[in-house]
Structure 1
């Protein structure tokens, strides 16, 4: 059975402020662990009025405190924005507070616009040191050596599992070289999915963290009782993508009846190219779509974005996706004696 996880966008909507978005993310995690999801991740984004996850480690603490079992992590931290030492301190602290539950996914994109980069004190050249920064961070999370003068307290020895995130072949090559699990962002950049997975698997070198390749694939999934209702709910995300091309990143909008009245042909073409691997429909449609994606990619795990405007309808979508995927229920998960071998990448 392919593992299933959630990428939570922490959306601020026209009807929900930032605090509401944060509490909704926490509530989603509490429900998701009962429905059998393995992990819930949030991503670092800056200067985006509609996303409340900029202070990613703080958001993760809020989510983890409202759940008991689900793994909680960054999907991801944009490491060139930060000192590896500071990220080690933050995630080491999370690991001390929530032992065995924290993941740290790492990306090299800025997660924002060029103007905000300057506010972050980052330059375009910062990404060039990404591989070295990953190794430095990994060293700070490892047990401190004899006489080591600089330690990331309380991170040393926590060995928080690292993931490499990517939307191109670069991340695949780096994850393979370092022997780390790899997550591909096909929920917004699907074009290089198959080539990146092939590179990752063919070049993978075993490491202390991971003995064999472990690939997670991002996918937009919106489920509802009928295909028609799911397609209507999906217009919220489609409008968000159209707004990106307009340079108008605002609050999440409620669904509309006719998406064609909202976007231009050019915006539609651009958005649908990015959303090409979305699975939208009834539980039967979702079940078939998930099975086809796993068959095509050989994914060890899928991480789902279910970008639904209304929180109650989003919970329903996430529950229907779990049912369609056939993942474990809470009672089955508690009864399981051992984790699945395929989840070594955690």
Structure 2
């Protein structure tokens, strides 16, 4: 491993699930996302990604390409993209045309992150793909097709994405297992690990990616981004209180009881069964929650453990203003 990067050499970015808050509307959630992206841009964040999910109460990011355009149109310099488009749900040509259009509208600012999971339940996946059967070989083949469709049109090429051809939209592979790490290494693509919800294989996956990386026309050396749940506040106690909204959402995911993002609750974890606390802790093992000093120490520990090039923060706080404050604290921690 190379010498650990200083925090001020690690790029900060953000992944947004576009949480619908309890008592709020989808329109409110969309407006909060745009305001958050504008603030992240002001702080100097590198990119702002939207995650594709379907049929999930409390998450409004299903039409990912539409949201990428909305956020890109309301910002000026920050890169905007998908974190990610769940490729099993879409024909590669449709993805190429959508992101090719975005690249023409916002040149040099669009990323295409691709995931291998459906991002939903089986019934919804069937509704999205009209009963199309997926095999283990489909994802690598679909990625290769997207690379062709977004690259320069070749002589005799019959299927051309228009818009899309020649835009060379940067493709990222996302994952929470070793499969996408291996594929990203083989293709010489940047890799983002979903440690914001599945941190268990983080170190193994990025080690595999780096060890097997093959330079490509896209990327000369490995580039690793990791998802980091972040809740920052002036004190550890307040951060823990604010994090209870995230704890409630995680518990809902684990138990199948999906709701909007809930207001914070005092001593939420202390009121849970030990098995529930353990499950939440496992889900959020990569989380950084606390005061400015705690955040700095937590991010430094992640940098030491992973040598990541970029932290992709996931920051869901019920009060939108306190969410922005949390990003301020993280930015200050990484610039000190």
Band of TM-score, shorter chain: over 0.9
Q: Is 1:217 the counterpart of 2:262 in the alignment?
A: no
Aligned to 1:311: 320
Aligned to 2:31: 23
- Which ranges of structure 2 fall in alignment gaps of 5 or more residues? 1-8
Structure-1 separation of matches of 2:44 and 2:75? 13
Say whether the 8 Å CA contact 2:185–2:214 is kept in structure 1: yes
Structure-1 separation of matches of 2:300 and 2:46? 18
Say whether the 8 Å CA contact 1:80–1:126 is kept in structure 2: no
SS of match in other structure, 1:48: coil
Aligned to 2:112: 104
Aligned to 2:178: 169
Say whether the 8 Å CA contact 1:75–1:105 is kept in structure 2: yes
Following superposition, the deviation at residue 148 of structure 1 comes to 2.2
Following superposition, the deviation at residue 122 of structure 1 comes to 5.0
How do residues 150-169 of structure 1 correspond to structure 2 at under 5 angstroms? 150-169=159-178
SS of match in other structure, 1:125: coil
SS of match in other structure, 2:140: helix
- 1:263 paired residue among 258, 272, 277: 272
Say whether the 8 Å CA contact 1:108–1:127 is kept in structure 2: no
Following superposition, the deviation at residue 295 of structure 1 comes to 1.2
Structure-1 separation of matches of 2:178 and 2:22? 37
Following superposition, the deviation at residue 238 of structure 1 comes to 0.5
Say whether the 8 Å CA contact 2:22–2:259 is kept in structure 1: no
- Which ranges of structure 1 fall in alignment gaps of 5 or more residues? 328-346
Aligned to 1:196: 205
SS of match in other structure, 1:234: helix
Structure-1 separation of matches of 2:136 and 2:95? 16
Paired residues, number: 327
Aligned to 1:46: 54
* TM-score normalized by the length of structure 2: 0.95
- 1:68 paired residue among 50, 60, 76: 76
Aligned to 1:226: 235
How do residues 1-346 of structure 1 correspond to structure 2 at under 5 angstroms? 1-120=9-128, 121-122=130-131, 125-126=134-135, 128-260=137-269, 263-326=272-335
Which deviates more from structure 2 when the two are superposed, residues 97-106 or residues 148-157?
148-157
Following superposition, the deviation at residue 268 of structure 1 comes to 1.8
SS of match in other structure, 1:186: coil
- Provide closer, same or farther for how the CA distance between residues 10 and 262 of structure 1 changes in structure 2, counting only shifts above 3 A: farther
Structure-2 separation of matches of 1:125 and 1:150? 22
Say whether the 8 Å CA contact 1:286–1:324 is kept in structure 2: yes
Structure-1 separation of matches of 2:284 and 2:270? 18
Query: What is the aligned-residue RMSD (CA, Å)?
Result: 1.3
SS of match in other structure, 1:57: helix
Structure-2 separation of matches of 1:34 and 1:247? 37
* Structure 1 segments of 4+ aligned residues over 6 angstroms from their partners: none
